[in-house]
Structure 1
Amino acid sequence: MKNMSLLVLLYIGCSTGNVFGQQQLPRSERYQIESDSLVIGHSKTTTIVFPYSVKSVDRGSNAVLVQKGKDVENILQLKAAHPNFIETNLTVVTSDGQLYSFVLNYNEETPILNWIISKAKGERQEHLVSPDNENEVDLHDYSALASYERKKLRGVRDKRFGIKFQLNGLFIYENVMYYRIRIENNSNINYDISQLRFFIRDQKKSKRTASQEIEIKPIYIYNNPLVIEQLSEAFAVFALEKFTIPDKKYLAIQLMENRGGRHLELRVKNGKMMQLAVLPAL
């Protein structure tokens, strides 16, 4: 595994669904990928944060345990399966088509706990595989832009139980709408998020007819929070395919607490949606 050839690397890329093709690179275009060195332990978890979601992971040895972070696509967590393992490696492919290589060694006393890979580092690397979905890169970039845009949407909020739930930005670029959500916890109890979902609902429910409810699932989530700690706030951007709201219906954005009863809901009508701002092209 230490001296993995380029042909094997190409095989890994193809096996993830990223079609690189059957042709070998000309000898003049072959090169080595520079590896990062990581020290991990048995009783402590090392976290690696990538700029884009992880699509493929290959361990050089079963002596290393690897998993994705819960509900987070761009974070890997790893630790030693047993102490004093022999040096091995880890290969990761992300959704933007980048391949990352790590050499792993054991040290229980001084493991690296957090390793953050900047977007700039990925841009300096060559694409070894074609991205499975180039659109995900655009969704990430425009979601990030929406998170920092100054224009705010006002009047769409729910405030109860010491929690303030707010849609404070609504943007569009081409056929994608970006919903910027702000959650503020003014209580002394952490708020663990069970789910944050989008529905189209009837404004009035007839006693004789069942209420129709259509869920709209985000195609991308930027900075998805799992816990809002006491006396703190968090922002997230949810990218949804473009839509408008039919007459006598509204968009419900539902926030539910895990193992709790502090549930909140936002109601967005068509008039409010028409106040969205257009994001500039990147």
Structure 2
Amino acid sequence: MRPILIIAIVLISVLAQAQTIEVLDTIYANDSKNVALFFPEPIRQGITGSENFVFTYNREKEQYFGLLQAQPGKESNLLVININGSIFSYIVRYKAQLSKLNYFVPLSNSIGNEKPKVVDSIQTETSEKSIDNDTYYYQKFCSYLLDRRQYLGRHTRHKEGVILRVENIVFDKEELYFVIQIRNNSTLDYDLNFLNLSIETRQKGKKKSLQRLYQEPIFKHHLPSKIAVNETVRFIYVMPKFSLSNDRRVILELNEKDGERNIELKISHKYINNPN
């Protein structure tokens, strides 16, 4: 390889490394004048690396500026942290004659933040673990409820051999668990289109009307898509905890896919407000 080419490669490498080196600005100060530094956010902390440099700022009331003074001696450094976590770092030197007394520091001069983005990823991971833990708990508690036999009143509706029943309503932590049963005593399989849970409000007055508000389950456990002939299925809807006034009630709406065996089951407010 030719010497000129080698020198060129070395120069390119040195320049590339130089571009990655973080260059700190130098601020000059002395003992006869105050050098003012104005930051984009209030100063939370300011530290100098040597006693011959003093950086003062208001520690009791948030302010955007600090004052730097210096005694003759070796150069040092100044580290400033804003209230939002932005970090600024400078080389400070003593100079008898000052040409600049005020520095207006832009946010772009920040070398980083004391709260790095890694924290966000950790929080996201923690949040995902929390969701997974909730799902695991729902699964375990739903399995427990399906293994036990406990009933809350008589809540049954049927149509053409298809029977919809609410076996139980259980309160646990911050959720309501609706234990639901569907029995197919007909001669045709039942293809489930949807089973919606809504809150129905009965409007008072001369012109009585009903208004329904759909409620989205947090979790569905063993919800079937088909109930075969002579088959009974049991599953659970997990809902956020709620209570009802006496002019409201819960409506379970069972809808058949490509069929007309649709069922509505009404549950009084007193069963919602007094679950097992």
Mean Cα deviation higher: 141-150 or 254-263: 141-150
- Determine helix, strand or coil for the equivalent of 2:125: coil
Q: CA-atom RMSD, angstroms?
A: 2.7
Alpha-carbon distance between aligned partners in 1 of 2:160 and 2:138, rounded to the nearest angstrom: 33
1:254 equivalenced with 2:273 (yes/no): no
Residues 1:213 and 2:212 aligned together: yes
* Cα drift, residue 222 of structure 1: 0.6
Q: Give, in angstroms, the shift of residue 156 of structure 1.
A: 0.7
Contact 1:218 1:238 in 2 (8 A): yes
The aligned residue for residue 229 of structure 1 is: 228
Amino acid at match of 1:19: E
- Structure 1: any 5+ residue segments left out of the alignment? 1-14, 21-94, 98-129, 278-282
Contact 1:18/1:132 (8 A) holds in 2: no
Aligned in 2, Cα 1:131/1:273: closer, same or farther, shift over 3 Å?
closer
Cα deviation per residue 1:74-121 (whole Å; 9 max; x = unaligned)? Answer: xxxxxxxxxxxxxxxxxxxxx9x8xxxxxxxxxxxxxxxxxxxxxxxx
Does the 8 Å contact 2:142/2:236 carry over to 1? yes
Report the Cα distance in structure 1 between the residues aligned to 2:261 and 2:203, rounded to whole angstroms.
24
- Structure showing greater relative contact order (alpha-carbon pairs closer than 8 Å, 6 or more residues apart): 1
Quote how far apart the aligned CAs of 1:19 are. Answer: 2.6
1:177 aligns with 2:176: yes
Counterpart for residue 192 of structure 1? 191
1:125-204 equivalence runs, <5 A: 130=129, 132-203=131-202
C-alpha distance in 1 between matches for 2:209 and 2:202: 12
1:190 and 1:19, CA in 2 relative to 1: closer, same or farther beyond 3 A?
same
3-state SS of paired residue (1:212): strand
Counterpart position of 1:19: 125
- Distance apart, 1:206 and its partner CA: 6.5
In 1, Cα distance between equivalents of 2:206 and 2:218:
34
Task: Give the whole-Å Cα distance in 1 for the aligned partners of 2:205 and 2:230.
Answer: 41
Kindly tell me: are residues 189 and 219 of structure 1, through their superposed partners in 2, closer, same or farther at Cα, counting changes over 3 Å? Answer: same
**Aligned residue pair count:** 156
1:243 maps onto 2:249 in alignment: no
Counterparts of 1:272 and 1:190, CA distance in 2: 31
Distance 1:207 1:162 in 2: 38
- Assess, with a 3 A threshold, how the Cα gap between structure 1 residues 251 and 163 changes in structure 2: closer, same or farther: same
Q: CA deviation at 1:204?
A: 6.0
> C-alpha offsets along residues 208-250 of structure 1, whole Å, 9 cap, x if unaligned?
4753211111100111111000111100011001111122111
The structure-2 alpha-carbon separation of the partners of 1:211 and 1:275, relative to structure 1 and needing over 3 Å to count, comes to closer
Counterparts of 2:224 and 2:204, CA distance in 1:
32
- Please report how far the alpha carbon of residue 139 of structure 1 lies from its aligned counterpart in structure 2 after TM superposition: 1.5
Q: Which runs of 5+ in 2 are unaligned?
A: 1-120
Q: Which string of whole-angstrom CA distances, capped at 9 and with x for unpartnered residues, describes residues 33-67 of structure 1?
A: xxxxxxxxxxxxxxxxxxxxxxxxxxxxxxxxxxx
Q: 1:246 to 1:235 in 2, by over 3 A?
A: same
Given that residues 153 and 275 in structure 1 are in contact (C-alpha distance below 8 angstroms), is that contact kept between their aligned partners in structure 2?
no
3-state SS, counterpart of residue 261 of structure 2:
coil
Specify whether residues 205 and 255 from structure 1 end up closer, same or farther in structure 2 by C-alpha distance, changes over 3 A only. farther
Q: Which residue of 1 aligns with 2:63?
A: none
CA-CA distance at 1:137 after TM superposition = 1.4
Question: Distance in 2 between the 1:205 and 1:230 partners?
Answer: 43
Alpha-carbon separation, structure 2, partners of 1:259 and 1:212: 26
**Aligned partner of 2:243: which letter?**
T
**Which structure's residues are more often helix, by fraction?**
2
Counterparts in 2 of 1:262 and 1:205: CA distance versus 1, 3 Å: farther
Over 3 Å counting, the alpha-carbon distance change for 1:179 and 1:132 in structure 2 is closer
SS in 1 for 2:170: strand
Offset at residue 146 of structure 1 (A)? 1.6
**3-state SS, counterpart of residue 187 of structure 1:** coil
Q: Are residues 266 and 206 of structure 1, via their aligned partners in 2, closer, same or farther at CA, if it must alter by over 3 Å?
A: farther
